Amino acid sequence: MVEVLLRKRKPPILTPSRIPCLRQFPTINITQGCVLGCVYCYIQGYSNYPGPERVVLYENTAELIACELARKRRKPCRVYFSPSSDAFQPLPEVQDVSFRTMAVLLDSGVEVAFLTKGFVGHRFIRLFSETPHMIFAQVGITTLDETLCRLLEPRAAGPCERLEAIAKLNQIGVRTTARLDPLIPDVTDATDSIAPLLDALREAGVKSAAASYLFLRPRFTARMKSLLVSVSATPPGMDAWQYQKFSDGCGGGRMIGSAERHRRFARLRALGKAAGIQIAPCLCKNPGLGWVGCAIAGPPPSAEQDGLVQHMFGFAEPPPAGGMV
Ligand code: SF4
């Protein structure tokens, strides 16, 4: 049983993320914590993480955003949901606040970008269908295997539901990409796992996808290992899954080595090309691999909009007049 704790948040809400590829846009978390409970999720290590069965819901987010936007002489061009939670968690209260907040933004002419593994219901599809050109959607998915998906992302939407959401978003004209992240070497990136997934994504209308590999944080390593070894229904590569492959250290965690990652990304890109999907590695987690970024929040804003965001957050001089939404 999930507990939803209601809390009023304090302004300002429209603040930039510290994640490099999101630095151009304000980001919003509707909740503190996230009940989707992905086993690899980094927020479980945060000091303010409320626990797996609990979220803190910022119930006044939409109202505060409306006030903040009304006060601002210059509005941001786009807002991203959500760096440390999912706006589409399967909790009616959370979905209500997400819906109202996105509606306020869109009404004010501000684009909405999101990454989700959650449940994008009919009312969101209806809302997005009014201004599809203002929405940038990315749906996380790494496997078509329901059992494995349930183990990795216990309360997230299943693979079929995510594919359905992608197809619906594409049908109403929303630019929708997939996010193959985190891939597990020899498990979810095995050809007989990833190739059917890419075909299914293409069928749902996906033309491009971002990708990244599992980053093993020390506190989750034992849990991930035992979980993966227990997945007897996923034969390809399970025996070959070796912790030793995770040789690149970073901030106490480990990734597979950069040479091997490079090789695997090249193979993924070739598989993507065969399926008609362009695959770009996430640059934040793979600096130095020499590819372009993964467009986590949609395509980059125009030079004018970029200048505006930089100015809003004190990074640069203001853009010339007229360069705002
Ligand atoms: S959806 Fe994202 S924030 Fe939520 S548990 Fe999964 S990885 Fe963490």
Q: Which residue has the higher pLDDT, 130 or 262?
A: 130
In angstroms, rounded to a whole number, what is the distance separating the alpha carbons of residues 216 and 310?
33
**Phi, psi at 46, each rounded to 5°:** -75, 145
Q: Is the CB of 125 under 6 A from ligand 1?
A: no
226 within 8 A of 243, measured Cβ to Cβ: no
Instruction: Return the pLDDT at 320.
Output: 35
Report CA(27)–ligand 1 centroid distance (Å): 15
Q: What is the mean pLDDT of the chain?
A: 85
Which tens digit of pLDDT belongs to each residue from 84-111? 999 999 999 999 999 999 999 999 999 9
Q: Is the CB of 82 under 6 A from ligand 1?
A: no
Q: Is 219 left (phi over 0), alpha (psi -120 to 50) or beta?
A: alpha
Report CA(303)–ligand 1 centroid distance (Å): 31
pLDDT for residue 323 is more than 50: no
Q: Which residue has the higher pLDDT, 217 or 287?
A: 217
Q: Regarding beta strands 175-183 and 248-250, do their DSSP bridges make them parallel or antiparallel, or are they unpaired? A: unpaired
The top-scoring range by mean pLDDT among 106-110, 221-225, 239-243 is: 106-110
217 vs 1, 36, 221, 299, 320, CA distance in Å? 27, 18, 6, 30, 44
pLDDT for residue 68 is more than 50: yes
| Mutation probe of ligand 1 site: the residue of 30, 35, 41, 149 with most atoms within 8 A of C-beta | 41
Residue 37 Cα: closest atom of ligand 1 = 5
Instruction: Return the pLDDT at 259.
Output: 85
pLDDT for residue 246 is more than 90: no
Residue 44 Cα: closest atom of ligand 1 = 8
pLDDT band at 293 (very low <50, low <70, confident <90, very high): low
pLDDT for residue 62 is more than 90: yes
Q: Is the CB of 77 under 6 A from ligand 1?
A: no
Report CA(304)–ligand 1 centroid distance (Å): 32
Within 8 A by CB and 6+ apart from 107, the residues are none
Cis amide bond preceding 85, omega within 30: no
Report CA(246)–ligand 1 centroid distance (Å): 22
Q: Regarding beta strands 253-255 and 248-250, do their DSSP bridges make them parallel or antiparallel, or are they unpaired? A: antiparallel
58 within 8 A of 7, measured Cβ to Cβ: yes
User: Nearest C-alpha to atom 3 of ligand 1 is from which residue?
Assistant: 85
In angstroms, rounded to a whole number, what is the distance separating the alpha carbons of residues 81 and 163?
20
In angstroms, rounded to a whole number, what is the distance separating the alpha carbons of residues 3 and 42?
21
**Phi, psi at 77, each rounded to 5°:** -80, -30
| Mutation probe of ligand 1 site: the residue of 17, 38, 80, 142 with most atoms within 8 A of C-beta | 38
Instruction: Return the pLDDT at 217.
Output: 79
Report CA(36)–ligand 1 centroid distance (Å): 6
In angstroms, rounded to a whole number, what is the distance separating the alpha carbons of residues 323 and 309?
10
| pTM, two decimal places | 0.87
Which tens digit of pLDDT belongs to each residue from 181-191? 999 888 899 99
Instruction: Return the pLDDT at 241.
Output: 54
User: Nearest C-alpha to atom 2 of ligand 1 is from which residue?
Assistant: 85
In angstroms, rounded to a whole number, what is the distance separating the alpha carbons of residues 234 and 237?
8
Instruction: Return the pLDDT at 165.
Output: 98
Q: Which helix (H) or strand (E) holds 164?
A: helix 159-171
**Phi, psi at 57, each rounded to 5°:** -100, 125
Which tens digit of pLDDT belongs to each residue from 6-33? 999 998 888 877 777 777 889 999 999 9
Which tens digit of pLDDT belongs to each residue from 140-158? 999 999 999 999 999 999 9
Q: Is the CB of 86 under 6 A from ligand 1?
A: yes
In angstroms, rounded to a whole number, what is the distance separating the alpha carbons of residues 158 and 121?
14
287 vs 66, 189, 290, 298, CA distance in Å? 37, 20, 7, 19
194 within 8 A of 264, measured Cβ to Cβ: no
pLDDT for residue 318 is more than 60: no
